[in-house]
Amino acid sequence: MAPRAERITIPPPSEGAGEVSGVYVRPDGAEATVVVAHGAGAGMDHPFLVGYCEALNRVGLATLRFNFAYMEAGKRVPDRPPKAIPVWAAALAEARRRSAGEPLWAAGKSFGGRMASMAVAEGAMDPVGLIFLGYPLHPAGRPEKLRDEHLYGLTLPMLFLSGTRDTLATGELLEGVVAGLPTATLTWQEGGDHSFAVNGLKRPPYEVGASLAPATAEFIGDHRQG
């Protein structure tokens, strides 16, 4: 029987901040929990994220996906890091409270992954590793504006899953960045764009998200503690 998805409320990260929503799923005997943040344009219930999390649940990993405050409020413009990072930290803390002491991983689609890495760089949270679902290395058409400086101080395991047609992470540039990160692994999704859609291959977003779970689970298994 599939594990039950529990709609939860994550406490405010600071005084005056609002609560945000989350969905927590815990299979029996979960060996790790993956906390998952959405991208800039779609919330935690987008089929891509649901497919990704449910595929992880099917291989025995617990998940907690959540909304950032702007998405919770129905706004379109993403929160700036000073507001997004405390929410990330609060979500990870909630996952830790619900865990049985297993490792906690932080994963995020685009904006959500970048905010996770910034939260770790600032010391705001301490997952055992990071999973990037399309890291936004630079704005589309602006490869000179790299968003990589904070990454070089990170020492935890990092998995970059990226499409070879991603206009926000040009191939040579991303390979160069990952080469400078001793604990990072880059796995290319052939033909994928920033949303991992492949020309000529019609797949619903749920299926696309689910297709990234095996590489995630393998990476987590390779870095199992103890």
Tokens representing residue 148 in the block: 């990589």
Residue 40 CA to chain centroid, in angstroms? 12
Dihedral sign (CA 137, 138, 140, 141):
negative
pTM of the complete model: 0.95
CB crowding 111-123: b at 16 or more within 10 Å, else e: bbbbbbbbbbeee
pLDDT digits (tens, 9 = 90+) for 47-86: 999 999 999 999 999 999 999 999 999 999 999 999 999 9
pLDDT digits (tens, 9 = 90+) for 147-174: 999 999 999 999 999 999 999 999 999 9
Strands (E), 32-115: 33-37, 62-66, 104-109
Instruction: Return the domain boundaries, the chain.
Output: 5-222
What burial class does residue 12 get, using C-beta atoms within 10 Å of its C-beta: 0-12 exposed, 13-18 middle, 19+ buried?
middle
Confidence of residue 191 (pLDDT cuts 50, 70, 90): very high
Specify whether domain 5-222 bears CATH 3.40.50.1820: yes
User: What is the distance between the terminal CA atoms of the chain, rounded to a whole angstrom?
Assistant: 29
